[in-house]
Amino acid sequence: MKILYICGDSGVEIGGRKGASTHVRETCNALARHGHEVRLLTPCPGDVTHLDAQVVHVPPTRAKWLGSDMRHIVLNSRMARAIRREIQTFKPDAMYERYSLYQTAGAQLANKFQLPRILEVNTLLAREQARRLHFPWMAQLVENALWRRERAVICVSSTLKRLMIESAGMDELAMVGFKISPVAVDVEMFSPAVEPAPELLELKGDRPLAGYVGTLTAWHGVDLFFEVARLLKQHGNPTIIMPVGGEDDRVERLRERVRQEGLESHLVFYGSIEHKKVPSFLAAMDICLIADTQDWSSPTKFFEFAAMQRPIIASRSPSVEEVFGSTGTSGLFFERGDANGMVAAIEQLQRNPELGRELGQAARRRVEEKYTWEASVRTILDLYEKMGANTAATTAGASSGRSATA
């Protein structure tokens, strides 16, 4: 089957280090492994060397004077021309689209050319980006109108599904399918057999390391790491808290705050690393931390931590609980914003290393059973079949990492 994959979000660099980037790449690669030919339209390709799909670059406008809303709308117009051209030349059997603000062209053209199309929704973009928009009310209206007309949707959590239905007034009974498929993980790349990163072993020495790998936005609970480091220092506990990731300027600001608060001995912001290095960094961590996340998201970090068989300590939130299971099943919970609770969980695992090993093994089993990219692809293909698509593999194969500009 030929699949036209549309990602009209200029903030998602396909070859980048964000969880969203990984989600797009791995979905394309998993579809290719199943024998399908994927062509990806994106305004922000980056390095697509490791992508098993041909990439068509649709350049976005950078004119700041237009304002954020109009830049999205102009991009939608450009995407419409590119999608129409690909329908005529690539001749896809189906379309798959990652939801992006103001991107209505995919739905319109799929309807015009009667192509089965699945919309993947990962977050409430109009709400999440409201402060960046000049007309957030308009973005919300467009979002709701788009969602109400969808016949097939995949979203990443039960909470997100409920909020989408409430916001847009969606009628699930009138749809072909509305599936929940959380983010997943490559269990071969993220494996407990991976050797720890030497640079991290050297940095931590003989001290325990409790780490995090991911972006450093406010809703990831970054501020909590400061309070946890302060409490560990007060307790005389030598554990190092190490968040890994983040944009350079933000990392520098956080490092300066660490110096100002005198926490250099217990809190280290390492900075961003390549995605291929993440498994070895996780292998060097004794405990993995999830300080916070959005209620409706699917935390990429959980799946990667779990696949590495690390004991996980996480803030209690609906999105984490959905994939995590109850506390003591795949890790330990603490109440949101409770630094003492996170410290207590860290010290509990340090007093009982066997518990940490058991939790890590249970977490690994959970992702192997439920959260692989192959499981995600099965959800996609099952939904296409319900829409009447012929899901047979193609003979052309994938076009690894090739890029063209529309």
- Quote the pTM value: 0.92
Longest dimension (CA), the chain: 67
Type of residue numbered 201: L
pLDDT of res. 268? 97
Q: Which of 253, 333, 242 is CA-nearest to residue 292? A: 333
In the chain, % helix, strand, coil (3-state, to 5) comes to 45, 15, 40
Helices 353-370/339-351 angle, 10° precision? 110
pLDDT value for 327: 67
- Give the number of residues written for the chain: 406
Question: Is 82 in contact with 48 (CB distance < 8 Å)?
Answer: no
**Residue type present at position 35:** G
Sheet with strand 287-290: strands edge to edge: 240-244, 209-213, 287-290, 312-315, 332-334
State residue 348's pLDDT score. 97
Question: Counting Cβ atoms within 10 Å, is residue 126 exposed (0-12), middle (13-18) or buried (19+)?
Answer: buried
> Do residues 159 and 334 touch, judged by C-beta distance below 8 A?
no
* Cα dihedral across residues 136, 141, 147, 150: positive or negative: negative
Pair 39, 3: CB distance under 8 Å: yes
pLDDT at 379: 97
Q: What is the pLDDT along the chain (406 residues), one digit of tens a residue?
A: 999 999 999 999 999 988 899 999 999 999 999 999 999 999 999 999 989 999 999 999 988 889 999 999 999 999 999 999 999 999 999 999 999 999 999 999 999 999 999 999 999 999 999 999 999 999 999 999 999 999 999 999 999 999 999 999 999 999 999 999 999 999 999 999 999 999 999 999 999 999 999 888 877 889 999 999 999 999 999 999 999 999 999 999 999 999 999 999 999 999 999 989 999 999 999 999 999 988 898 888 889 999 999 999 999 988 888 888 766 678 999 999 999 999 999 999 999 999 999 999 999 999 999 999 999 999 999 999 999 999 998 755 545 555 677 7
In this structure, are residues 196 and 280 in contact, taking their beta carbons and an 8 Å threshold?
A: yes
Q: 249-277: b or e for each residue (b if 16 or more CB lie within 10 Å)?
A: ebbeebbeebeeeebeebbbbbbbbebee
Closest CA to 210 of 279, 329, 310: 310
What contacts 287, CB < 8 A, 6 or more positions away?
208, 209, 210, 211, 310, 311, 312, 313, 346, 349, 356
Q: Which domains does the chain have, with CATH numbers?
A: 2-184+372-405 (3.40.50.2000), 198-370 (3.40.50.2000)
Burial class of residue 49, CB neighbours in 10 A (0-12, 13-18, 19+): exposed
DSSP string of 116-146?
A: -EEEEE-S-HHHHTGGG-S-HHHHHHHHHHH
